[in-house]
Amino acid sequence: MLDDLKIFITAANKNSLTAAAQHLDMTIATVSRRISALEQKLGCELLHRSTKGLTLTPVGESYYRECAEFIDALDQRISNLDQTLNSLKGDLKVLAPVNLGSGPLDSFWQGFVQLYPDIELNIELSNTLQDIRDTRADIALRSGNQPSSSLIQKKLGHIEPILVASPNMAFPLPKTIEDLQHAPSIASNMFADWLLINNQEDRRPLNKEHRHISNDMTITLNLAKAGAGIALMPMSMVHGALETGELIRVLPEWRGQSREIFLVWPYRRSLSARAKLLKDELTKFLHQQTWFHPSP
Question: Is the pLDDT at 3 greater than 70, yes or no?
Answer: yes
The sign of the torsion formed by the CA atoms of 277, 280, 284, 286 equals positive
Question: Is the pLDDT at 73 greater than 80, yes or no?
Answer: no
Which listed CATH number (2.60.40.680, 1.10.10.10, 3.30.70.100, 1.10.3720.10) goes with 2-86? Answer: 1.10.10.10
Residues of the chain with CATH 3.40.190.10: 90-159+259-294
Q: For the domain bounded by 161-256, which CATH number is listed?
A: 3.40.190.290
Residues of the chain with CATH 3.40.190.290: 161-256
pLDDT in tens, 80-102: 555 555 778 888 999 999 989 99
The overall average pLDDT reported for the chain is 87
Overall pTM > 0.95: no
Homologous superfamily in CATH for domain 90-159+259-294? Periplasmic binding protein-like II (3.40.190.10)
**Range 269-290 average pLDDT:** 90
Secondary structure of the chain as H, E, C letters = CHHHHHHHHHHHHHCCHHHHHHHHCCCHHHHHHHHHHHHHHHCCCCEEEECCEEEECHHHHHHHHHHHHHHHHHHHHHHHHHHHHHCCCEEEEEEECHHHHCCCCHHHHHHHHHHCCCEEEEEEECCCCCCCCCCCCCEEEEECCCCCCCEEEEEEEEECEEEEECCCCCCCCCCCHHHHHHCCEEEEHHHCCEEEEECCCCEEEECCCCCEEECCHHHHHHHHHCCCCEEEEEHHHHHHHHHHCCCEECCCCEEECCEEEEEEEECCCCCCHHHHHHHHHHHHHHHCCCCCEECC
pLDDT at 25: 85
pLDDT in tens, 205-230: 998 899 999 988 999 999 999 999 99
pLDDT at 287: 96
pLDDT at 149: 66
Question: Is the pLDDT at 284 greater than 60, yes or no?
Answer: yes
pLDDT in tens, 26-51: 888 888 888 888 788 888 888 888 77
pLDDT at 120: 93
Percent of the residues in the chain that have a pLDDT greater than 90, as a whole number: 50
Q: Considering only residues 80 and 174, tell me which one the structure prediction assigns the higher pLDDT.
A: 174
